[in-house]
Amino acid sequence: MANIFAKKPLAVLLGEANASGEGALKRTLGAASLVALGVGAIIGAGLFVRTAAAAAQASGPGVTLAFIVAAIGCAFAGLCYAEFAAMIPIAGSAYTYAYTTMGEFVAWVIGWALIMEYALGAATVSIAWSEYLNKLLAVFGTSIPYEWSHSPLESAVINGVSHTGLLNLPALFIIVALSLLLIKGTQESATFNSIIVVVKVAIVLVFIAVGWQFINPANHTPYLIPENAEPVVSGGKIVREYTEWNKHGWGGILGGAAIVFFAFIGFDAVSTAAQEAKNPKRDMPIGILGSLAVCTVLYILFGHVLTGVANWREFADPAKGGEASVAYAIKEHMPGYEWLSTAVVVAILAGFSSVILVMLMGQSRVFFSMAKDGLMPKAFSELHPKFHTPYKSNLVLLVFVGAFAAFVPGSLAGDLTSFGTLLAFVLVSIGVWIMRRTDPEQPRPFRSPLSSASFPLVPILGALICLAMILALDAMTLKLALGWMLIGFIVYFVYGRHNSKLQQGIVVVPTELEEQAFIEQK
């Protein structure tokens, strides 16, 4: 009987990492490009959309504390990712790390969960891209009709007329365009991303600098949503209540952290590009931890300014904050800076584009690794003869992610994305501890601090904090995520287990002496 917890030998992974030739990805990315990839993936929908959403739904002005909680969990997980990425510089990220530490089935679980992170993450941001495109078009007196810029599951009353979405065409368009760019090449995509990162970071800094002078201290009092907070009413209907434990007080900070956690997704996407890094042992920790540090500081400042300029309750009202909360805050509370609102919308559109780009790249690299192991169809690992990119994987994602973006509301996709990421973070943190116990002599170019086999403080804290944020997600999200994971179990036992190269013996498992000699050689 097949052993579903069979582990892929580390020597085999290191051999794949050092492979070159027709079936290998090209090493074209330096440390600066990797930091830019991380910042490009992190600053986007999470900052410009989820900040206001977390303030309105759970944290109030305390969204800054929610960012800190989420950042702490990410920092612990980031240290674990950095250790793995430097030690095993191969595409696949958390999936690959789990394969060699916890076995094939756990690796499959992570790979399946990463679909929620990267594929649904790209879909979520493309939906936000569509919303902001309409905000920009409104400046010029036009817009895309509601029916062609919203999901069929969404409806609204505009000027007394009821509208129901048919297809989110702008979201579909940006997915198609960026998928084609990724097929063209990794270096071209990284250059495009770096230009965009400079633009959107500059706009974030301008908003913080200008908005600081418009902060109203009264908007920061009380700093946490009180337990007896009145519900928010819009159009005669209650649109937001705060009675549940994770919607007010310190519970609301944890609930808000689970919401804004989506804002930190991206630094782990850097690890999926490990096989395309020029010097992964040095550059991967810089890319992962550097991008996380830069964005955490910007997030805390941004959240403080946004909730100081406008009251958090305004963001809970769809008729006010709604889809473009930052633009609303500027127009309503920062007189004389209306031009900044338009500039922010342009920068956000560009920024969202870079987020989608990195998410699609990360997902295609996870599929690439899973297909190389036989757990996904072979087509996902086939490289373009000219561009050396996993083009068939990108084309499949174009269809899958494009369909999700066109037909599913962004709020649903965003929470599922957080679940997939948090689950991966939990298992990567545990994986570092397992590797410290089972393979303590393996060379580690980067070592996460306080992570010894006998005292694994960083891995344990990373796993516990991320697990707490999973439990703080709303019940519907958890039910949908459980359903998705059950589908994944079925796919594994029907397809993955029977096609696994490791299970079939196609992967040559070295003896202990051969493996040790290979590792020492590397």
Q: Over range 323-334, report the average pLDDT.
A: 82
Residue 16 or residue 43, greater confidence: 43
> How many angstroms separate the Cα of 67 from the Cα of each of 80, 94, 301, 348, 493?
20, 23, 10, 20, 39
* Range picked from 34-38, 89-93, 254-258, 348-352 for highest mean pLDDT: 254-258
Q: Residue 495's pLDDT is what? A: 93
Q: Does 2 fall in a domain?
A: no
Residue 415 or residue 388, greater confidence: 388
Cβ contacts of residue 477 below 8 Å, gap of 6+? 412, 415, 416, 418, 419
Q: Over range 217-237, report the average pLDDT.
A: 86
Computed over every residue of the chain, the mean pLDDT equals 83
Q: Residue 245's pLDDT is what? A: 82
How far, in whole angstroms, is CA 229 from its chain's centroid?
Answer: 32
Q: Over range 32-48, report the average pLDDT.
A: 77
Question: Is the per-residue pLDDT at 243 higher than 70?
Answer: yes
Q: CA triplet 92, 98, 100: central angle to 5 degrees?
A: 100
Q: Residue 513's pLDDT is what? A: 40
Cβ contacts of residue 505 below 8 Å, gap of 6+? none
CATH of the domain at 446: 1.20.1740.10
Q: Where are the beta strands (DSSP E) in 105-181?
A: 155-158, 161-164
Q: Does 298 fall in a domain?
A: yes
Calculate what percentage of the chain has a pLDDT beyond 90: 19
Note the pLDDT tens digit of each residue in 406-446. 988 776 666 777 788 888 889 889 999 998 888 888 888 88
Domain membership of residue 176 as a residue range: 10-220+248-521
Question: Is the per-residue pLDDT at 516 higher than 80?
Answer: no
Q: Residue 320's pLDDT is what? A: 64
**Residue 514 — pLDDT band, cuts 50, 70, 90?**
very low
Q: Over range 351-358, report the average pLDDT.
A: 84
Secondary structure of residue 365 in the 3-state scheme: helix
8 A C-beta contact, residue 414 and residue 405? no
- Return the number of other C-beta atoms located less than 10 Å from residue 290's C-beta: 22
Q: Does 237 fall in a domain?
A: no
* Range picked from 2-6, 105-109, 139-143 for highest mean pLDDT: 105-109
Q: Over range 137-150, report the average pLDDT.
A: 89
Note the pLDDT tens digit of each residue in 473-487. 888 888 988 999 999
Q: Over range 291-296, report the average pLDDT.
A: 88
8 A C-beta contact, residue 58 and residue 256? yes
Q: Does 240 fall in a domain?
A: no
Question: Is the per-residue pLDDT at 338 higher than 70?
Answer: yes
Question: Is the per-residue pLDDT at 158 higher than 90?
Answer: no
Q: Residue 517's pLDDT is what? A: 42
**Residue 46 — pLDDT band, cuts 50, 70, 90?**
low
Q: Does 314 fall in a domain?
A: yes
8 A C-beta contact, residue 174 and residue 132? no
> What six digits make up the tokens of 12?
């085999």
How far, in whole angstroms, is CA 111 from its chain's centroid?
Answer: 14
Q: Does 391 fall in a domain?
A: yes
Q: CA triplet 259, 35, 343: central angle to 5 degrees?
A: 65
Q: How many domains, the chain?
A: 1
CA atoms within 13 A on the CB side of 105: 10
HEC letters along 178-196: HHHHHHHCHHHHHHHHHHH
Rounded Cα distance between 380 and 442, Å, is 31
Q: Over range 156-168, report the average pLDDT.
A: 83
8 A C-beta contact, residue 288 and residue 270? yes
Calculate what percentage of the chain has a pLDDT beyond 70: 91
Q: CA triplet 176, 178, 182: central angle to 5 degrees?
A: 115
Q: Does 1 fall in a domain?
A: no
8 A C-beta contact, residue 86 and residue 444? yes
Note the pLDDT tens digit of each residue in 359-383. 898 888 888 888 988 999 988 888 8
Q: Does 128 fall in a domain?
A: yes
Q: Residue 62's pLDDT is what? A: 93
